[in-house]
Structure 1
Amino acid sequence: MKLSLHKILVLGLCLIVGACAFKKEDAEDKQRQELAEDVAKQMQEDQKNAGVDLKRDNVSVKFEDGTPGRYTLRIQWPEAVGTMEVFINDQLVEAVSGRSYYSSEVLQGEILVINLRAFASVSNGGRFLSDLSDKFFVPRDLIFKNNVELTSNFSEDVHRIYFWQNGRIISNGYSVKLKADLLVVEDEDAYQTGLPEQDSHITSILTDKSKSPDLISIDAKKAVGTLRISMSGANGKNGRNGNDFAIANGLSVFTGPAAAGASGSNGVGKMGRPCNPGSRGFCEPIPPSCSVQPTNGQAGANGVAGNRGEDAENGFNTGNANITVTNNDEFVLEVYQTPGLGGTGGAGSPGQPGGAGGAPGNRTGNCTPASPGPRGTDGADGERGDNGSSGEFGEVKTDVKNIKVIQRTTK
């Protein structure tokens, strides 16, 4: 069939118009589908937002280890929250949108009151959903940078313990109890100089027998580095000398020599009479005479023996250590033990000097001279007190694999 040009143009126009009609219907269908999907998404979001109720089981608050003395606070909440207002200690620190967490650096040992206020997204009206408030304690660190001298028993339960190069605990005889998840000892520039009391991280000296001998206790889940501990016993005190010890115990102490001997009795005699050359007649001289001889002085009393010196004090034991570290693969423990030396017994006091001999009786006439009495014997010196014995090595209980215990008997 032969088509004219006019028929061809009419047929093409009809095809074009029909195609346009089909495209218009397809576009309208697509718009209706997208609108339905948006409504469905909004309904789902509304349902999620309506169900957001902040609780401790859907809000996570954690403290992650940071540098010594610092931690990272991380708060996580449900993703359905549009905006979360984070208050710390009554201060708004951030209004978080577009993510479901908050993080910041905090200091060890802080007490944080955290208040969270959840809101729906802005597109969903931004309405308030719920809130949650609670108190949290940032883990504690113990950081020893310099000498710490104790004036009482020391007990700490913390998350981390650090000993820097110059960090020392000087116990002064008090007990040290440390518990931590992590113990870190910084490497020293130089090795032990041979003076453990100066170079150790913990120096313990037992000075009181009435105190518990369990002086050092460490319980850690993990430890890194080399920890040196010096455990010494104090030397025993020297005994006091005899007189000082006697006075302290209410005993009598002589203050001078023993009693002198009694004097001898005097003699009884006559001096006699010579002749007077000028006298008349016969003259016979009368010689001196002695009717009673004088007696010698009596002997002085003997001195008493000196007082015995006080016994010296025994040296103190080193005390015991109990070190428990669960993960100790990177940890080395060195314990230096030196018991105290016994003291020196007190010297006995000198014996009392003997008393002076009595004076001789006086001589008259031609009586024979008497002699003074002999001096009394000096008392013997008191005995020296016993020397004290040296202290003993205490017990070291530990599960640390890399351990070295050095025991010395002299300081």
Structure 2
Amino acid sequence: MSVSVTFPRYDERQRAYVTWRPVEVKLAVTPAQVQPAQVTVSARSAAGGGRLLFADAVTHAGAASIDLDLPANGSAVSVWIGGAFPAASTRFGDVTIEVRDRTTNALQASHPTMVRVRKNADTLSTAERDRFLRAFAMLNGAASGRFMDFRDMHVGGPPDREAHGGAGFLPWHRIYLLDLERELQKIDGEVALPYWRFDRAAPNVFTRSFMGVPGPQDRVQFTTGNPLRAWVAGNLPGVERGPGVGPQTVPLVRSEQETLALGGAPSAQYAGFRIMQGNPHGRAHMAHISGVITDPATAPQDPLFFLLHCNVDRLWAKWQWAFKRHDPQAARAFDPSSTLPGHRLADKLWPWGGPLAAPRPTTAPGGGLTPSPLTAAPGVSPRIRDTIDYLGTIGQAQLGFAYDDVPFQTV
């Protein structure tokens, strides 16, 4: 007898991933047996690897193992498997699902996976950092790659009004980051977008081996082996960034604690929280003094932009978790008074919603949202309401990402 272990979705390399939010995995005996199979499902983790929890329903309160009786006729039984917060993976296969006979302890099946989450860029291992840099440089392709669509989404004029200045600022950038991350994962499935926590010094981020350091004429300097050395996204090769932030710099922005207090705890209304667009978000951009990252029309030309915005999204995610603001229909989870086109709960997000009628942009670089091997949500044309319950806390759909310091918790 053996047991099949089947995840709902796999990538092109037949790899399956999890975050903190459990996914439904099917187990079945194969071939059919005379007697049901009594098994225990658990996980084996490498040193420093991810850990898993198991349950018979979606919950954050799973266990390190679960006993199951698998029908003799080969019918599948569901088990919900998610990462055990905060033990994330560093590579694919550093945690393996094991199915063992409950009586003999004989191994009936094993299935490698990865607890893949977004991490603090300053704490990445060298291998994690280098995989991210390689994938990002490949996406850029020295100005010939798919990255150019992301540069062209975040520019001045009508596109700027889609992304900034209203209640849709955080939802728009959540999908923007998700689209880019999914493109990176098509290159390397082990990559997740890291964040720059800009209210603290980040000595491991601002090095020539990672995001670089400013040099003469604000030209960022990289090591010879850094893949970003071939970066091209603007009028000149390389990255233009001012000298305002270095390895020991702590920008003058709201701290994480101060940011999470926006919106008025304990009532915690999104309408108040979203002023974080100015501080800390805007101040983090301007902390660099000069360079493309200080101008919304050119900011994505600097790879650091995406680490900055990943932290902005993490702060929103942490605020949502702290105050249980995951229900798109709850007034405090968004801003129901918003009337700006593209900033209302039911609005399609440009450019993933395709060409729209003026005054919204009538061109749409990049097409629909990149699909994910982890989830079908939010589809190719997401709306603002699809961004709020990103972990599937209220509903069944999750967007396929999580943060290393923001757990999944059922309400």
Measured against the shorter chain, the TM-score band is under 0.3
Q: TM-score, normalised by structure 1?
A: 0.26
Structure 1 or 2, whichever has the larger Rg, is 1
Q: TM-score, normalised by structure 2?
A: 0.26
* Greater length-normalized contact order (CA 8 Å, ≥ 6 residues apart): 2
